[in-house]
Structure formats: C-alpha cells, structure tokens
C-alpha cells in the first residue's frame, strides 16, 4: 500500500509540473533580440506571443525570425499588433495582414493596447471596435486584448470583458477588472529570466480556468 501511495504521489507531482509548464507563456519583440528557441521550450514555456506590427507602418524587425524559430521547436505561437490612435483601424489591420501574410498562427491574434495617444475613452473604443471587427472577419475569431490592469479599467472595462484578456499586473496580485468577468492570462512580471533569452522578458500564466486550448485559433481561420 505504501508503495502504491508513493507511486501515486510521484505521478501527481509529474502531472502538476507538466501543467505548470503548459500554463506559463512569454511575449517577445525586438527587445529580446536573438532567441534560442530550443532552450526556451526546454524551460517549460508552453506558448508565446510575438510582436508583428505597430500602428500603420512599423514592423518588428525580429518578427519573421521569431515566429519561424518558435514554430520550428513546436511552441504554440500567437501574433500581436500594438494598437495606436495615430492611424485608422483599416490602415492598422492592412499593415498587420500584409506582415503576417500566410504565416500560420496557432493561437488567436492579439491586440496590444497600452497608450491613449491623447484620445478619450469613447474615441479609443470606437476605433478598437472597428479593428476587432476586421480581425473577426479575417480570422474567424475574436482577438485577445492585452493591456495593463490600470489602462484596461480606465479605458476599456467593462465593454470588452467578454473577450479573452491578457493583463499585466505586477507585485504578486492577480488582475482585477471592473464589472463582470475575469482575465484569461496574467502577465505577472516584466523582468523574467528564461533560458535562451539574454534580456528580461515578460512572463505570464493562465487563469486556472483556462489552458492553451482555450485560445487556439479555429481550424478554418487563415
């Protein structure tokens, strides 16, 4: 009986460690420079979001290299666009679509919105609604929304609470949003250390309600 209990304990520990690995993710851009993706995967990272574009004209110079490297080692990959109020939703979407092209995304696309560019809440929401509609039409799914907890509650809550939310909050406390709903992914540090990346990196984990399967892009998406 004791042997059986020991075996069950070891098995439970193995499953727990595997689950923790699958629940942790990172997001990367040019700031992480050259990444050793094989070592990243070996560090029990379960998924990655990679910056593609910003506004209507900026393309992250490491985007193509990052998405190829991450997919080559089998990491589930998502792609994100940094939203700006300095250009229209259509211009930003066109730029994202051109940049991503036929590269396969495993995870739903993400809109990163962190700056108001001097605009009001109503103005931001109107343009964000337009961009979300374009993403839905093209990819057959709603995008995830990334923001800090502070920015999200000031400019976006509760209108977007029904979407998957990837929220940054540091210091040990999980994100809390105004209104009904909750975050899907919590970015808990900007100063993470991961094997294969020489700089600090954002690290996140899922809300216990979710796994990576909850944010996989539909099979019929482009």
- Tokens for 32? 């992480």
Cα 85–79–28 angle (5° rounding)? 90
- Tokens for 45? 């990272």
Radius of gyration of the chain (CA): 18
The active-site residue, picked from 36, 91, 114, 138, is 114
**What span, in angstroms and rounded, lies between the C-alpha atoms of 131 and 196?**
34
**What span, in angstroms and rounded, lies between the C-alpha atoms of 217 and 104?**
10
Annotation marks residue 54 as catalytic: no
| Preceding amide of 171 cis, omega within 30 | no
The active-site residue, picked from 27, 54, 60, 202, is 27
Annotation marks residue 114 as catalytic: yes
- For residues 203 and 47, is the Cβ–Cβ distance under 8 A? no
Residues belonging to the active site: 27, 114
């Amino acid at each position: 009986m004791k042997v059986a209990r020991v075996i069950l304990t070891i098995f439970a520990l193995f499953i727990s460690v595997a689950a923790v690995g699958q629940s942790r993710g990172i997001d990367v851009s040019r700031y992480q420079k050259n990444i050793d993706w094989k070592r990243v995967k070996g560090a029990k990272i379960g998924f990655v979001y990679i910056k593609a574009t910003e506004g209507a004209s900026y393309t992250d110079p490491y985007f193509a290299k990052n998405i190829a490297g991450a997919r080559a080692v089998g990491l589930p990959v998502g792609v994100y666009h940094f939203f700006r109020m300095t250009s229209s939703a259509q211009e930003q979407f066109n730029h994202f679509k051109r940049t991503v092209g036929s590269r396969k995304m495993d995870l739903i696309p993400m809109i990163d919105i962190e700056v108001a560019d001097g605009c009001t809440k109503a103005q931001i929401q109107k343009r964000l609604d337009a961009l979300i509609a374009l993403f839905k039409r093209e990819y057959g799914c709603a995008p995830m929304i990334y923001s800090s907890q502070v920015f999200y509650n000031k400019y976006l809550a509760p209108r977007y609470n029904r979407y998957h939310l990837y929220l940054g909050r540091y210091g040990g406390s999980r994100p809390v949003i105004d209104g009904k709903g909750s975050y899907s992914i919590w970015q808990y540090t900007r100063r993470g250390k991961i094997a294969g990346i020489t700089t600090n990196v954002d690290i996140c984990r899922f809300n216990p309600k979710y796994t990576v399967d909850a944010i996989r892009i539909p099979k019929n998406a482009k």
